[in-house]
Structure 1
Amino acid sequence: MDKHVDQLVNWLKQTVEETNTNGLVVGLSGGIDSSVVAYLIKQALPNHSLGVIMPCSSSSEDAEDAQLVVNGSGINQVTVNLTEQHQLLFDNIKQQVQNKNEWNEEKERLADANLRARLRMSTLYTIATNYNYLVVGTDNAAEWYTGYFTKFGDGGVDLVPLLHYTKSEVRELGKALGVPEKIINKAPSAGLWHGQTDEQEMGVSYDSIDAYLKGDKIDEQDADIIEKMHQRTAHKRALPVAPPNFHHFTQE
């Protein structure tokens, strides 16, 4: 994994140089993926890397774990608490739609969770603009294939260094980088609501997804869940859809 770390660090340096930007910023959730990215960007650009902790009606333990990463990696850090802004905005949106008697209560939790992810994305890009930094994403191969990310939320980034690494490989990268053991062994969670875990929400384990991506034989039901997620979320991995070019009209 040391070789992979060196290759990723060099790629990050090269990308900043090629884009004529000054550095790199990542949102720190207290999970393994963002922790690995934080250690990588700190190695790549020690004086021009930034981790942003963004509590948003989320567990205090997540912020504490994110601080562990800051302390361990030595990365420059800023905290922006989005709880109040999120609540005000979500309540306002909900009220306006309720006034039309069109609020879908079954979709409320998902809409709420996606708004949090998109507020965090907007925060990161506001900070990135200030420093002329690139926003670094944290999605791994399993999340990308299954579409387990919010479109224009945590999926709204400039770089995705972990895209070709399975969840288990990201953990191995974490060990090589010196990420705290507590974070490496933590149950993966997007922290979108109390008690939420990735695997519980997806209905399949990361170990199964990792094995599937490597071409190993897995439980048929798990394989079906993974493929359905992949197909259902194809739009997240594609550019916005456009119609055929009707601009050039022919004279009749």
Structure 2
Amino acid sequence: MVEIPKLDENKSKTEIVNFIKDKIDDSGVDGIVIGLSGGIDSSISAYLSCEAIGEEKVLGIILPSSTTPTEDTIHGKEIAIKLGIDFIEINIDNILNEYLKVLKTDSKEAIGNLKARIRMNILYYYSNLNNYIVMGTGNKSEILIGYFTKYGDGACDAEPIGHIYKTQLRKLAKNWEIPDEIINKPPRAGLWDNQTDEEEIGMPYELLDRILYMLIDENMNKNEIAKILEISIKEIERIDEKIKNNAHKSKIPDSI
């Protein structure tokens, strides 16, 4: 049986904290801005940022909309209070509605991506205002399959947990002061009503991560992966297609 390696929480914490410290030093900035969605990824990124440079140099921004579950906003505030960081809450609906007066679209995907880009505009506004950098919250599972908005939640100055799979993060979070209610709730971006990550991806993260680990880290044959996981080869090919089709999201734009 091929299993995703268990990460040592102390070693992982030290590596990421040092990475963040180096990024701050190299950038010559005064601190970190981070969007707090109330989910596990942003909570971990905020926690590690505080460990690296101190809570007084970390600013949390909570950016709900009408489709954001109420508990996510509550959890964003709770993690900010727990970590002792300053935070600002801005509802983005008024900004979104001004866009939609001009754009006149009813595409939920287009509107969802627009919300993500509005949020990133606000994060970078506060970044510029304070001479901070924007800390990313993407994990390895999302980054590999391109499950993020280009120039939206994918836009940042550093990805401290971008090398760690979602299922690995859930285990690490238990030792990193992240409340159980945040760890155990369904992952979601709240970009439209009743949206969840796993429904959009088409499988639970436990299965996705095992596919990605065997496909990318172990470079295993697709047929072999399908046999081990007892799933259709079409599911492996579907994930592989996501990886290939969305690779552009993580690349610097081409030039002549």
Q: Is TM (by shorter chain) over 0.5?
A: yes
Equivalent residue, structure 2, for 1:59: 69
Contact 1:113–1:192 (8 Å) recurs in 2: yes
Q: Which residue of 2 aligns with 1:44?
A: 52
Deviations 1:180-222 (A, max 9, x none): 1000001110111111100101112211221122217332233
RMSD: 1.4
Cα distance in 2 for residues equivalent to 1:2 and 1:74 = 22
Contact preservation (8 Å) 1:188, 1:198: yes
| 1:71-150 to 2 correspondences below 5 Å | 71-94=81-104, 108-150=107-149
Aligned partner of residue 164 in structure 1, secondary structure: coil
Deviates more, 1:181-190 or 1:40-49: 40-49
Q: Distance in 2 between matches of 1:93 and 1:181?
A: 40
Whether 1:226 and 2:225 are equivalent positions in the alignment is no
Per the TM alignment, residue 84 of structure 1 is displaced from its structure 2 partner at its CA by: 1.1
Q: Report how far residue 131 of structure 1 moved.
A: 0.9
Hey, what's the Cα distance between the residues in 2 that align with 1:90 and 1:225? Answer: 33
Identity rate, percent: 37
Aligned to 1:210: 209
- Separation in 2, partners of 1:136, 1:222: 33
The one-letter amino acid of 1:92's match is V
CA-to-aligned-CA distance 1:108-146 (integer Å, 9 cap, x gap): 111100110000000000000111111011111110010
Q: 2:251 is matched with which residue: 220, 235, 238?
A: 238
Range moving further from structure 2, 117-126 or 225-234: 225-234
> Considering only CA atoms, is the larger Rg found in Structure 1 or Structure 2?
1
Partner of 1:192: 191
CA shift for structure 1 position 72: 2.0
Contact 1:50 1:76 in 2 (8 A): yes
**SS of equivalent residue, structure 2 residue 214:** coil
Q: Secondary structure at the match of 1:66?
A: helix
Aligned to 1:16: 24
* 5+ residue gaps, structure 2: 1-8, 216-224
Counterpart of 2:175 in 1: which secondary structure? helix
How many residue pairs get aligned? The number is 232
Show the 5 A alignment for 1:150-161.
Answer: 150-161=149-160
Q: Verify: 1:68 aligned to 2:78, yes or no.
A: yes
- SS of corresponding position for 1:25: strand
Aligned match of 1:97: none
On the 8 A contact 1:137/1:161 being kept in 2, the answer is yes
Tell me how far apart the structure 1 counterparts of residues 63 and 74 of structure 2 sit (CA, whole Å): 11
- Cα distance in 1 for residues equivalent to 2:163 and 2:90: 30
Question: Residues of 1 paired with 2:125 and 2:17: CA distance?
Answer: 24
- 1:56 is matched by which residue type in structure 2? S
1:34: how far off? 0.5
Could you tell me how far apart the structure 2 residues matched to 1:174 and 1:75 are? 19
Counterpart code for 1:138: T
- Runs of 4+ aligned structure 1 residues displaced above 3 Å come to none
For the residues of structure 2 that align with 1:213 and 1:235, how far apart are their CA atoms?
A: 18
Q: Provide the C-alpha distance between the structure 2 equivalents of 1:235 and 1:213, rounded to a whole number of angstroms.
A: 18
One-letter amino acid of the counterpart of residue 100, structure 2: F
Within 2, Cα distance between the matches of 1:126 and 1:236? 22
